Chain A
Amino acid sequence: MKKILSKRSRIVMTIIVAIGILAWHPILAGAEEGKTIVYNSSGGVVEQVVKKVFAEPFEQQTGIKVVFTAPVNFAKLKAMCESGNIEWDVTEIGPEDMIRGKERGYLEPIDYSIVDKSDFLPGLAHSHAVPAAFYSTVLAYNTKKFPAGKEPKSWADFWDVNKFPGPRSLPNFPYTMEIALMADGVSPDKVYPLDEERAWKSLDKIKPHVTAWWTMPAQPAQLLADGEVDMAAAFNGRITAIQKEGVPVALEWNQQVLLLAYNAVVKGAKNKDAAMKFLAFMVKPELQAEWVKMIPYPGPSKSMYELLSPELAKTLPTNPEFYKLGVVRNYQFWAENEERLMEKWNAWMLK
């Protein structure tokens, strides 16, 4: 068989491939230790915005370069921590994974002597993670069907099918129990500890009036836009987005359920100190304000609202005015009970 490549060109190819691998690998690509941190994000737009708003100014000020990897993956975190080969320093992490990660010892405690938590919204400084982005489940409704003055203002109104007739949509997840409790008269600050009996009873009442139980976050906005339902529990970002497209919908911040994603430092991270510095840098109010101008999911800062236009501020769930009306989901509870309640939920659905 004839050789396809000469010996020299094979050597050149090998070198090119080797350089390619080195350049691609985040750790090898970086310079000396402590001068680079690896940030694992969900990629895409989030990565670009983190790079622009946080990473570039951070490098300018401290000389520490931030290298990005993706995606966020709990299985990979687990594999890293169990093998001792820690590739990430900081990772974006979902709330339930954060609880699991903390319990299994995959996360470093946050050094709050470096990270300033005094500007955080109340009750958010978690021992092993810093809040990164909030979103919220809100009551959204068709404004043609329910014009100003006749609009639903609470989950109790959502449950009131005589005063507010029309098909409805709710999430097909046991989380809906939170909403059911508020509909039954529980105030947001009393939702947890969750009174399960009371929640099921309340859910039974609304069940026949729910046309669509949604499973994907895009669904409720679509259902409202198509006129398929007149009222839905939906994520705020999706509703704001279709509002901008001219769909006649509005949302009610009262009794919103706040959800959040975190940033955490991986246990045994090679550049732990630099990683803490980066987390501290990210929560600065002026940078938080820049972030929220590009991504509609605000971080934990409350003083950033002084830097935002009122138009933007009124679309954000952590606006102090709205924040106090809602409840932050207790992920500790769900990490412990979700599986059991999901089974019950499915059985309830089939009944």
Chain B
Amino acid sequence: MKSRISIPGAQEKPRRSIDPTFYLILPLLVLLIFFMVVPVFRIFALSFFDPDFTIKHYMKFFQAGIYLQILLRTLVISLMVSVCCLIAGYPVSYLMADVSPKTAKILIILVILPLWTGILVRTYAWMVLLGRQGLVNKLLIYLDLVAEPIKLLYTTKAVVLAMVQILLPLMILPLYATMKGIDRDLLKASKILGAGPLRTFWRIFLPLSTPGILAGFTLVFIISIAFFITPALVGGRKDIMIAMLIESQITTLLNWGFAAALSLILMTMTLIIIGLFHKFIGINRFVGSGDT
């Protein structure tokens, strides 16, 4: 943000003047205060008061074992999703940054297109594909690769696969923005100095694209850890994620205090990840700006 140069005494009312651009964010600010900040404080209060001050909900989380196990499970699934997104998304972004602007535009549309379909719909599509009578199993049987339908649905693999498909655009877009900002002359210079294509990639391109990798990775990871509907629908009995736990505490057990504590633990983890990211890379990388 631009800061104004103020010379003491030079302006008539230096303290009262508000940057006019402030009014542009005012509606959003009001919305966020009432529907984000206030509820978060309510949740905070809910997790510590019942009705007197208590830390029993947090004690329960750390003592029962099962909850830490579910948290760990959530982190492992999110990590798998982020790694798979990176592996699948990096070449696509590379291609997008390399082709003509016209082709790049078409590719961007293709990447963004799935975002316009609801998560639930895409999850159901995976159920149709991976089911016992689903397309994949039918094809495998038709090709005589298997005799009996194999179990694809209700496994951790299905959860990861479906989540990767849903979150992939969020990996590709920041990667693309970063790669687009890489000066191609550096690659030429590297080649002129005698480095082969692999060495050029490894020593020049990859390090320069690291901010994009981290931005995409963090974004996908943060959204993954709060995923609910996909693991609930395509996961097996062991694929319990923390958001599912929160849901059951709220709707079936009516234990809102514990649900609030779980939510805060999840939020704290997210904030720590974002904080680390900001410290090392800078938060504006999320919106894809190549120049920090």
- A251 CB, nearest partner CB in chain B, Å: 21
- The answer to whether B238 touches A339, judged by C-beta atoms less than 8 angstroms apart, is no
Which residues of the other chain, A, contact B240 by a CB distance below 8 angstroms?
346, 349-350
- The answer to whether A347 touches B66, judged by C-beta atoms less than 8 angstroms apart, is yes
**A86 vs B244: C-alpha distance when bound (angstroms):** 34
Which residues of the other chain, B, contact A172 by a CB distance below 8 angstroms?
237
| Contact of A67 with B by CB under 8 A | no
- The answer to whether B237 touches A338, judged by C-beta atoms less than 8 angstroms apart, is no
- A306 CB, nearest partner CB in chain B, Å: 38
- The answer to whether B151 touches A342, judged by C-beta atoms less than 8 angstroms apart, is no
**A227 vs B153: C-alpha distance when bound (angstroms):** 13
Nearest CB in chain B to that of A74: its residue: B254
Which residues of the other chain, A, contact B232 by a CB distance below 8 angstroms?
215-216
| Contact of A212 with B by CB under 8 A | yes
Instruction: List B residues 147-170 near A (Cβ within 8 Å).
Output: 151, 153-154
- The answer to whether B237 touches A213, judged by C-beta atoms less than 8 angstroms apart, is yes
Instruction: List B residues 222-245 near A (Cβ within 8 Å).
Output: 232, 237-238, 240, 244-245
Which residues of the other chain, A, contact B54 by a CB distance below 8 angstroms?
none
Instruction: List B residues 186-243 near A (Cβ within 8 Å).
Output: 232, 237-238, 240
- B239 CB, nearest partner CB in chain A, Å: 10
| Contact of B101 with A by CB under 8 A | no
| Contact of B5 with A by CB under 8 A | no
Q: In the complex where A211-B154, A350-B238 touch, is A228 in contact with B253 (Cβ < 8 A)?
A: no
Which residues of the other chain, B, contact A211 by a CB distance below 8 angstroms?
151, 153-154
Question: Chain A CB within 10 Å — which of B132, B153, B237, B252 has the most?
Answer: B237
| Contact of B131 with A by CB under 8 A | yes
Nearest CB in chain A to that of B153: its residue: A228
- The answer to whether B253 touches A346, judged by C-beta atoms less than 8 angstroms apart, is no
- The answer to whether A228 touches B237, judged by C-beta atoms less than 8 angstroms apart, is no
| Contact of B65 with A by CB under 8 A | yes
- The answer to whether B237 touches A339, judged by C-beta atoms less than 8 angstroms apart, is no
| Contact of A210 with B by CB under 8 A | yes
For the complex, would chain B's binding face be called helix, strand, loop or mixed by DSSP majority?
A: loop
Which residues of the other chain, A, contact B248 by a CB distance below 8 angstroms?
215, 342
**A269 vs B254: C-alpha distance when bound (angstroms):** 25
Interface size class, chain B: 20 to 34
- B244 CB, nearest partner CB in chain A, Å: 8
| Contact of A30 with B by CB under 8 A | no
Which residues of the other chain, A, contact B245 by a CB distance below 8 angstroms?
346
- The answer to whether B253 touches A226, judged by C-beta atoms less than 8 angstroms apart, is no
- The answer to whether A228 touches B131, judged by C-beta atoms less than 8 angstroms apart, is yes
- The answer to whether B252 touches A342, judged by C-beta atoms less than 8 angstroms apart, is yes
**A338 vs B253: C-alpha distance when bound (angstroms):** 7
| Contact of B103 with A by CB under 8 A | no
Which residues of the other chain, B, contact A339 by a CB distance below 8 angstroms?
253, 255
**A96 vs B255: C-alpha distance when bound (angstroms):** 13
| Contact of B92 with A by CB under 8 A | no
Which residues of the other chain, A, contact B133 by a CB distance below 8 angstroms?
226-228
Q: A96-B254, A213-B237, A349-B240 are in contact. List 15 more A-B contacts (CB 8 A).
A: A207-B237, A212-B154, A215-B232, A215-B244, A227-B132, A228-B132, A228-B133, A338-B252, A342-B248, A342-B252, A343-B64, A343-B66, A346-B70, A347-B65, A350-B73
A-B pairs with beta carbons under 8 Å apart, 30 shown: A74-B254, A100-B254, A167-B132, A172-B237, A173-B252, A210-B237, A211-B153, A212-B154, A215-B244, A216-B232, A226-B131, A227-B132, A227-B133, A228-B132, A228-B153, A338-B253, A342-B252, A342-B253, A343-B64, A343-B66, A346-B70, A346-B245, A347-B65, A347-B69, A349-B237, A349-B240, A350-B66, A350-B70, A350-B237, A350-B238
Q: B residues bordering A, Cβ < 8 Å?
A: 64-66, 69-70, 73, 127, 131-133, 151, 153-154, 232, 237-238, 240, 244-245, 248, 252-255
